[in-house]
Structure 1
Amino acid sequence: MPTTAPDSSTPAPTTAPGSSTTAPGSSTTAPDSSTSVPTTSETAEPAPGDGAIQQRYEAMSEQERAEVGEPLGGEVVVDEGLRWQEFTHARFYWTPDTGVTVVRGMIYQRFLDLGGHDELGVPITDELASSGGGRYSDFLSPDGAVHSAIYFSTRTGAHLVVGPILEHFRALGEDAHFGYPATDTRLTPDAFGAYNHFVTPSSSRQDASIYWTQPNGANAVQGAIRAKWAESGWEAGPLGYPVTDELTAPDGVGRYNQFNGDGAFPAGIVWSPETGAHSLQGTIAQRYIELSGPGGVLGYPTTDELGTPDGRGRYNHFTGTGGASIYWTPQTGAHEVYGGIRARWAQLGWERSYLGYPVSGEHDVERGRASDFEHGVIEWHRDTGEVVDRPNR
């Protein structure tokens, strides 16, 4: 604890000559009238933070002072843990944990627009340079639970990024690698999640997003995959929320994101330079994943999920060897057809042929490979390369 130094003007107690003699019949020593009475002059302890903001301002260079401007009023003492003072283009804050921090410029203006320290809390950093040439300040909410930052760039202005989205944005490399925030963090229309949109370093428009939900965490969607997801209705559409970042396909060329679909079955969007971005959902998506997705026998999707002409089923086509498809109906489930067997089925008229819909995937038989259909079978014979179809017996 700080102590008060003795005041040098206070005389030390002294004992007058002869005062040690006790007068006859007296039980006390009579005071000598020449003895000085001790006195104390104490200096009050300074309140927490006293002078800290002024000292920070005085320590600034002339250029920094020009940037923050002149004081607009006195220092505001909120309590022992918070002081602040307004300047023309900035606000200075003091707390015992952070010392003096300064929020300034366009970040300061956005900070005020969003409710200042009552909403975002106090700045816990000065304004800093981001990885891509932007600027940012970090904030901590009044209850200490929410970490946020306001990022500024000349391309997108100043925008707030909050909590897990902020953490993921930084993990992805901030504006140098992922993009510049182009919106504040917002709740989704169903209030189940939150998101920010971004402009990637090579773009001039919003083409990336980070979405967060409690079950799935924060995941990034960008480029052609994001455009396809937007076309489907964002998180309100059949694909739901992203559950992965954009990932690289096993061949190192394609890209994909997985989504939570309807909650019972997954969904996905898969992209390659040759095929573009196409979506899968429900049991078709589940079967595609079981068959190793773009790294499996089916390859990349060449269509979104479509309805069959008879209105009974659904399907996706793929690039797999010789062409590939997954067909689904409520009665038959989802099954893949590919190669020579698929080519023969297509010749016959697909699901409108006498065979109907597939009821199995391709499997081994004695002479080669086969796929079963509602009303028959198609076989590929290994020894001759012949593909034959026949009705059920």
Structure 2
Amino acid sequence: MTRTRPLRAVLLAVGLAAMLTMLLVGAERETPPEGFTNAADLGRFNPANIISDGVFYDTSSMDVAEIQAFLDLKGRNCTAGDLCLSRYGMATYTRSADSRCPRTYTGASRESAASIISKVASACGVNPQVLLVTLQKEMGLVTASSPTTKSYNRAMGYGCPDNTGGTCDATYNGFYNQVYMAARQFKNYQANPTRYGYVAHMNNYIAYYPNRPSCGGRTIYIENQATAGLYNYTPYVPNQASLNAGYGTGDSCSSYGNRNFYSYFTDWFGSTQHSGGASVAEKYLAMGGASSYLGAPTGDVTCTARDGGCLQPYQGGAIYWSQASGAHAVRGGIYAKWAELGYEYSLLGFPTSDETAIPGGYLNLFQGGAIYWSPATGAHFIRGGIYDKWAKQGYETGWLGFPTGDETKIPGGYVSTFQGGAIYFSASTGAWSIRGHVYEAWARQGYEGGPMGFPTSDVRTLPTGEFSVFQGGAIYWSPTGGGHALRGPIYTAWARSGYETGALGMPVGARTSITGGAYQEFAGGSIYESAAHGARIVTNPFRDKWLAAGGTTGVLGFPASDAGRTRTGSFQVFAGGAVYTSSTTAPQIIRGAVYDLWARQGYETGRLGYPITDVQAVAGGEQSDFQGGSIYVSRSTGARWLGTDLAAGLAARGGPGGPLGFPTTDEFTTATGGRAAHLQRGNLYWSAGTGLHNVSGPTYTTWGAQGYENGPLGYPTADATAAPGGTGTVTTFQRGSIYWSEGTGAHSVPAVLDQAWARWGGAAGDLGLPTVDAFRTSAGGGGLVQHFQRGSIYQSAATGARVVRGPIFGAWAATGYEYGFLGLPVSDETALTGGAMSLFQGGGIYWSPAGGAHAIRGRFYDTWAANGYEGGALGYPTSDEYAVSGGRRMDFERGTIDVTNAGRAIVTLR
């Protein structure tokens, strides 16, 4: 073969005539190496486009390891030892980058032929496959069985002009020089496309054989720069005889350089326009050719597929190739499905595997997914996140089985259905599988378009059923409760309780809307949701009590908390109150002002303890009883509490609807350790020594004026009772009593006076009721005085308590009472024959109906006594003592007594 040598570049610029005078050089092989068989279809040889620019300048087609493997394979018959190209090595030197080879070639002390080819291709930007083919067509080095040093010196035919008779310029000897300079020359052609004999994108006359004008040639419109470069390097075009001969010899006008370039490249690397043609052929042969399930070809290899891909149809399917995917066969139902989707232009792209038998069917992998086929389901594609999820589930041998539908776009994502369920995908959730009862329950919710949205977990098995999580909640299923959706605050509350292992267990009902909120039933209770209080769990013992009270429409309304624990019991708060229970008390409702007051008392840890009744309606208000007392509420009094003793006392007196009414104060502790509370119409007081008693009305006012329980009377020892004689009431205290009547008011009778009063019959006796409270007197060293309706009682430590009444009291008053000369009484009024008398510290007062009451003292008293008092000769006094000449005198019924100034007493009888 002949070609234009690099040293003739200037001559080529002179014109085609000079070029045609060059001589053939024997460097190029006229025939292929022994054993070569023609596989390339030279009927497809296009002289206008022998190789595309894209393929010619593609440096990524092979790396150094692939080149070495290629040389090992093609040179396997070489017997020349280290002169075999696969084993050849030499020292190289560094060449700086320039405009033709824009990357620096870094030399090494010894490099393999594969390394040199790879590094030159990278440095100069030429396809290493082009360099390998050129080595073969020039000197046959790739497949040579016994190459020589001379073969390496002129490996690429560079510097060997046709007109030198085969003599090469020694300057360019050596394998490294040859490969580098040839690659650089191709880049020269590219950098100066119009300076050489053949120019792309115009008509060029190209001879069939150099130096034989009689052989003629043909005008060719060269379509690209790579083809122009091949003609500039080897300036002739094969005639038809050359093409018809394959790798063989044509006629006398046949040339072979560019024919062989096309043939080698096509046989070794596939299409010169695309790199997949050979891969398709190799795949077909590797599968067994026509004896495989593909059968005979029904068309040629074409490289018009997407992204420069190639394909060939066969009786039983097709083989597709692309740079990214390699060559793979598709057939049958899988092929039909792929065709339906749009072949390699579909979202699946090119196949990345052959059809593969799997249990129950077949599959083909593609760039964008896979197609699976079974007799029961047909062929369906699966891809992306859905495919990955299905793979994790065990592919077709997992519980999902084969796909039963193609991936389908749905609002917000995609779905693929399978024999055992489905997989749903969205960008925000990823891909998750769903099946069975959970799938059915989700369908009732509206699938992904319903409130649950897309699944965010696979269906998971529980000891009691199964569940799956979704964007909007979760769906749980059990054999006894069925499948139910959980979402929103109700789901959150259920999760807080411990999911299905908590107190509530599995759901047994759907979420149900009610006025003001919603609820959902569970095996162990309920969850109720409201805008004001969120979702709250209600379980027994609270649920039954709450429902009996009307549930959400009753007095308690929606729950406002989950159940809580106390040290000895539990509770639950509702919008309208709470329910409390303990180990010793049943659940009871507490609400409103009762609840508020109980809370201020310390709830169940306060002195009232747990409630033992619900809040109950009573006349005029409400009442709730507790372990330690009761709370009472009315509009006018508010909420007040009483301890056990006072509450029992109020209950015994008719409760808050009785005569005492509602408490107006809480129970309080007195300064002396007792307890008390004020009520609307009474006052309850308790002490350990006296028990519980009521003090009310004017009696309470009088007692209070004296200092209540801290005063002289102390605590009450009885409630008010009818006073003897039915003229009023009496309330007894530790140290006295208070008597009341409409006419006298309420007045206390101290204990020290009470005995004396009792001697006279008390309230029903001669003295009647007290008309004033007892008061103190300073006479006689201090004592007490109290006036009654018909007399008075005077008391001192020296005299005791003595009754003074009637005319005697009048006569004593005339003397100045206890501050007069008589002083305090030392005896009660005493009945005498025909009259009465009272003795005093300074004398006495005697009374008779006829003579009236008169005081007698001193010498008068002693003289009268000596004469027998009122039973003697003188009888009763009829006057007080009065002054007379020389002394003083007293008149008696039957005489007089005179006491002289000298102290002598004289009795005169009439």
> What is the TM-score normalised by the length of structure 2?
0.31
Aligned 1:1-393 pairs, distance under 5 A: 51-62=332-343, 65-67=346-348, 69-70=350-351, 72-74=353-355, 76=357, 82-88=360-366, 89-96=369-376, 98-119=377-398, 120-130=400-410, 132-140=411-419, 147-177=420-450, 178-188=452-462, 191-200=463-472, 208-251=473-516, 254-261=517-524, 266-268=525-527, 270-308=528-566, 311-320=567-576, 324-365=577-618, 369-374=622-627, 376-380=629-633, 391-392=647-648
Counterparts of 2:607 and 2:356, CA distance in 1: 87
- 1:115 Cα deviation after fit: 0.4
How much has 1:280 moved relative to structure 2?
3.2
Q: Is the 8 A contact 1:242 1:257 kept in 2?
A: yes
Separation in structure 2 between the aligned mates of residue 164 and residue 158 of structure 1, nearest angstrom? 19
Higher strand share: 1
Pair 1:64–1:150, CA change in 2 (3 A): farther
2:563 alignment partner AA: E
Is the alpha carbon distance of 1:77 and 1:238 closer, same or farther for their aligned partners in structure 2, counting shifts above 3 Å?
closer
Query: How far did 1:182 drift?
Result: 1.5
Query: Are the structure 2 counterparts of residues 305 and 57 from structure 1 closer, same or farther at C-alpha, using a change threshold of 3 Å?
Result: same
User: Contact 2:334 / 2:364 at 8 angstroms: preserved in 1?
Assistant: no
In 2, distance between residues paired with 1:54 and 1:63?
A: 11
- What is the SS of the residue equivalent to 1:155? coil
Q: What is the SS of the residue equivalent to 1:67?
A: coil
Q: Which runs of 5+ in 2 are unaligned?
A: 1-330, 653-910
Note closer, same or farther for the CA distance 1:161–1:66 as it changes in structure 2 (3 Å cut). closer
Distance change in 2, residues 1:136/1:379 (3 Å)? same
CA distance in 1, matches of 2:627, 2:582: 11
Instruction: Tell me the amino acid that sits aligned with residue 350 of structure 1.
Output: Y
CA distance in 1, matches of 2:458, 2:345: 28
Counterpart Cα distance in 1 of 2:569 and 2:560: 18
Alpha-carbon distance in 2 for matches of 1:116, 1:68: 21
Partner AA of 2:354 in structure 1: G
- How far 1:139 moved relative to its partner? 1.6
Contact 2:455–2:471 (8 Å) recurs in 1: yes
The one-letter code sitting in structure 1 at the alignment partner of 2:568 is R
Map Cα deviations across residues 12-33 of structure 1 (whole Å, 9 max, x no partner). xxxxxxxxxxxxxxxxxxxxxx
Query: How far does the alpha carbon of each residue in 1:60-85 deviate from its partner, in whole angstroms, 9 at most, with x for none?
Result: 3246645264272236385xxx4322
Asked if structure 2 preserves the Cα contact closer than 8 Å seen for 1:68 and 1:87, the reply is no
1:255: how far off?
Answer: 3.8
CA distance in 2, matches of 1:110, 1:124: 16
Which residue matches 1:38? none
2:355 and 2:484 map into 1 onto residues whose CA distance is 45
Give the distance between the partners of 1:350 and 1:223, measured in 2 at CA. Answer: 33
- In 2 relative to 1, CA 351–71 (structure 1 residues): closer, same or farther, beyond 3 Å? closer
Contact in 2 for aligned 1:249/1:295 (Cα 8 Å): no
Equivalent pair of 1:94/1:101 in contact (CA under 8 Å)? no
Distance in 2 of aligned mates of 1:297 and 1:172: 34
Q: Partners of 1:301 and 1:227 in 2: how far apart?
A: 15
Q: Alpha carbons of 1:209 and 1:331: their partners in 2 closer, same or farther (altered >3 Å)? A: same
Q: Which of 1 and 2 has greater Rg?
A: 2
Instruction: Tell me: CA distance 1:373–1:77, structure 2 relative to 1, closer, same or farther (3 Å).
Output: closer
TM-score by length of 1: 0.68
User: Which amino acid counterpart does residue 441 of structure 2 have in structure 1?
Assistant: H
Following TM superposition, by how much is the alpha carbon of 1:123 offset from its aligned partner in structure 2, in angstroms?
Answer: 1.6
Tell me which residue corresponds to 1:143: none
CA distance in 2 between counterparts of 1:289 and 1:161 reads 37
Aligned pairs, how many?
Answer: 311
Deviations 1:177-221 (A, max 9, x none): 322212111224xx3232222224xxxxxxx22222222222222
Which residue matches 2:263? none
| Separation of aligned partners in 1, 2:477 and 2:628 | 47
Structure 2 counterpart SS, 1:160? strand
3-state SS, counterpart of residue 282 of structure 1: coil
SS of the residue 1:123 aligns to: coil
Alpha-carbon spacing, 1:168–1:63, altered in 2? closer, same or farther (3 Å):
farther
The one of the two structures with greater contact order (alpha-carbon pairs below 8 A, sep at least 6) is: 1
> Alignment partner of 1:151: what SS?
strand
Paired letter, 2:505: G
Partner Cα separation in structure 2 for residue 336 and residue 195 of structure 1: 37
Higher helix residue share: 2
Question: Are 1:224 and 1:277, in contact at CA under 8 Å, matched by a contact in 2?
Answer: yes
Work out whether residues 121 and 139 of structure 1, in 8 Å CA contact, stay in contact via their aligned partners in 2. yes
2:412 alignment partner, SS class: coil
Determine helix, strand or coil for the equivalent of 1:333: coil
Contact 1:72–1:86 (8 Å) recurs in 2: yes
- Cα shift at 1:156: 1.4
The answer to which of 219-228 and 332-341 deviates more is 219-228
Q: Which amino acid aligns with 1:73?
A: D
Deviation at 1:162, TM superposition (A): 1.9
**Paired position in structure 1 for 2:862:** none
Amino acid at match of 2:470: F
Specify the SS of the correspondent of 2:541.
Answer: helix
Letter in 2 for 1:288: W
Shift of 1:274: 2.8
Cα separation, 1, equivalents of 2:465 and 2:339: 45
Q: Is the 8 A contact 2:343 2:349 kept in 1?
A: no
Contact 2:344 2:350 in 1 (8 A): no
Deviation at 1:155, TM superposition (A): 0.8
Contact between 1:165 and 1:210, CA under 8 Å: does it hold in 2?
yes
After superposition, the Cα gap between the structure-2 partners of 1:352 and 1:133, relative to the gap in structure 1 and judged at 3 Å, is closer
Query: Aligned with 2:341: secondary structure?
Result: coil
Relative distance call for 1:387 and 1:165 in structure 2 (3 A) is same
Pairwise CA RMSD of aligned residues?
3.1
Residues 128/293 of structure 1: CA separation in 2 closer, same or farther (3 Å cut):
farther
Contact 1:358–1:373 (CA<8 Å) still a contact in 2?
yes
Q: Which amino acid aligns with 1:275?
A: H
1:175 to 1:63, Cα distance in 2 relative to 1, 3 A: farther
Cα distance, 1:386–1:167 mapped onto 2, change above 3 Å: same
Deviation at 1:299, TM superposition (A): 2.0
